[in-house]
């Protein structure tokens, strides 16, 4: 991959918690503040943690994952953490320390420019406790003008509105609206239509944003005035079960801690991303994506034939990233714009998620072949895509450990094969919904 700008002064791959056995405790610390002694409680299952994964930062910039085995006592001394840090991550900190050039540049931008206004769109399906936690985390991360638009996509018997009024009394920056037709894309588009601010940031109700999230989004847009989209890492909020560790191996939602700039004018090296711009999984995920409002509206928002809640089951975020790039726009992956997300914690839920990912990817590719303006370029890339899917050395498969179940690979490929038919069903459903709306 062509690296246009580094957030931490290097491209070395960071250690990752997926290499450890569950349960793994997740923690975060700033290296500039020292390394405290840790005393871990028992895991959710009531057993001691086997491993510890620490997201280490230099100021707000993430440096990488620090991995340690945990003794049965659950006690990890600060000097042990520091020694592991020096061994695993110290070489990656040169540009991440407070007072570095990147930190001074960010401070200069904040001092000289008015902060951009953000409309945060949070989609939900009647999950009131999760929404309150998500909204509170967004408020806690904010230091500039903002609003939060909560979109209820399952309004029948929903208690979300009442819960928000109770949890945030008098908070006029938190707004609520309903999108009664099921579909994540429809819910996000409802939020986009209601957004009043120049930047629209999307996240899901089960996400907890990092305290630096909103500021990092603003800085990325200010640093790159020509960019239309900023994404960031989606990191696991817990790795309590084997299913959650396997989910990290299947689809690492955090794409590393190096800032990357994507555009058709400056594509990555072919050996790194042979399918660009169709390697959408590199760019980020919809649960952590911010757009310039006018750029997203110019593309008519997310495709409502794709996404959770439709027969296509997903793929709407991959699709919008590709559409932005094909329209000549620029996309930034910003490592400091971090959010935390829980993975499926049972094998049943994991299997369903893997299958849905396959269906969503297949549906998105079917759309690109059917209606995409550059379908012939995609057809030319199909042989390379099949090799990439099967290769054990591809980025997609390299993170899978020796214990990764082959059954999950089969489920994903089954979903991928079903994806085109799912997309056809979704298009038919969309036509019926639009016809019914036009008759009202």
Q: Are residues 70 and 136 in the same domain?
A: no
In a domain, 421, yes or no: no
In a domain, 32, yes or no: yes
In a domain, 96, yes or no: yes
Number of domains in the chain: 2
Q: Are residues 148 and 249 in the same domain?
A: yes
**Percent of the chain surpassing pLDDT 90:** 71
Does 131 have pLDDT greater than 60? yes
Q: How do residues 84-99 score in pLDDT, each as one tens digit?
A: 999 988 776 544 333 3
Angle at which helices 128-141 and 213-223 cross, to 10°? 60
Torsion of CA 101, 106, 107, 108, to 10 degrees: 90
In a domain, 225, yes or no: yes
Domain interval for residue 157: 106-354
**Which ranges in 281-346 belong to alpha helices (H)?**
293-298, 316-326
Q: Are residues 95 and 127 in the same domain?
A: no
How confident is residue 166, by pLDDT bands cut at 50, 70 and 90?
very high
Mean pLDDT value of segment 360-386 = 81
Domain at 235, CATH number = 3.90.550.10
In a domain, 130, yes or no: yes
Q: Are residues 117 and 170 in the same domain?
A: yes
Task: Please give the angle made by the CA atoms of 392, 396 and 402, to the nearest 5 degrees.
Answer: 50
pLDDT at 93: 59
**Which one of 68, 100, 132 terminates a domain?**
100
pLDDT at 440: 66
**Which one of 43, 72, 100 terminates a domain?**
100
pTM above 0.85, yes or no: yes
């Amino acid at each position: 991959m062509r690296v246009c700008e580094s957030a931490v002064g290097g491209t070395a791959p960071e250690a990752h918690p997926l290499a450890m056995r569950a349960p793994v405790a997740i923690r975060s610390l700033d290296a500039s503040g020292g390394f405290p002694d840790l005393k871990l409680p028992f895991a959710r299952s009531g057993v001691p943690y086997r491993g510890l994964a620490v997201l280490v930062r230099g100021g707000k910039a993430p440096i990488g994952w620090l991995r340690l085995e945990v003794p049965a006592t659950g006690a990890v001394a600060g000097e042990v953490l520091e020694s592991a840090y020096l061994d695993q991550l110290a070489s990656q900190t040169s540009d991440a320390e407070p007072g570095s050039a990147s930190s001074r540049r960010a401070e200069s931008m904040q001092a000289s420019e008015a902060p951009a206004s953000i409309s945060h769109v949070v989609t939900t399906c009647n999950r009131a406790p999760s929404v309150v936690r998500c909204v509170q985390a967004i408020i806690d991360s904010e230091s500039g003008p903002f609003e939060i638009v909560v979109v209820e996509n399952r309004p029948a018997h929903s208690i979300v509105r009442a819960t928000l009024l109770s949890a945030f009394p008098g908070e006029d920056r938190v707004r609520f609206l309903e999108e009664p037709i099921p579909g994540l894309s429809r819910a996000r588009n409802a939020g986009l239509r209601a957004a009043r601010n120049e930047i629209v940031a999307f996240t899901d109700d089960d996400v907890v944003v990092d305290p630096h999230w909103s500021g990092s989004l603003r800085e990325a847009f200010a640093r790159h005035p020509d960019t239309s989209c900023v994404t960031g890492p989606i990191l696991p909020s817990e790795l309590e079960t084997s299913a959650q560790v396997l989910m990290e191996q299947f689809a690492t939602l955090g794409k590393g801690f190096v800032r990357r700039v994507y555009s058709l004018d400056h594509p990555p090296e072919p050996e790194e991303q042979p399918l660009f711009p169709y390697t959408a999984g590199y760019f980020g995920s919809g649960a952590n994506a911010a757009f310039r409002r006018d750029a997203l509206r110019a593309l008519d928002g997310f495709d409502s034939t794709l996404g959770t809640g439709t027969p296509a089951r997903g793929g709407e975020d991959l699709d919008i990233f590709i559409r932005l790039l094909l329209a000549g726009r620029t996309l930034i992956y910003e490592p400091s714009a971090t959010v935390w997300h829980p993975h499926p914690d049972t094998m049943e839920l994991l299997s369903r998620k893997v299958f849905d990912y396959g269906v969503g990817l297949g549906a998105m590719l079917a759309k690109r072949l059917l209606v995409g303006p550059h379908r012939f370029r995609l057809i030319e890339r199909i042989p390379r895509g099949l090799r990439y899917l099967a290769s054990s050395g591809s980025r997609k498969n390299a993170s899978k450990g020796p214990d990764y179940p082959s059954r999950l690979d089969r489920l994903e490929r089954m979903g991928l094969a079903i994806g085109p038919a799912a997309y056809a069903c979704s298009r038919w459903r969309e036509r019926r919904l639009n016809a019914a709306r036009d008759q009202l």
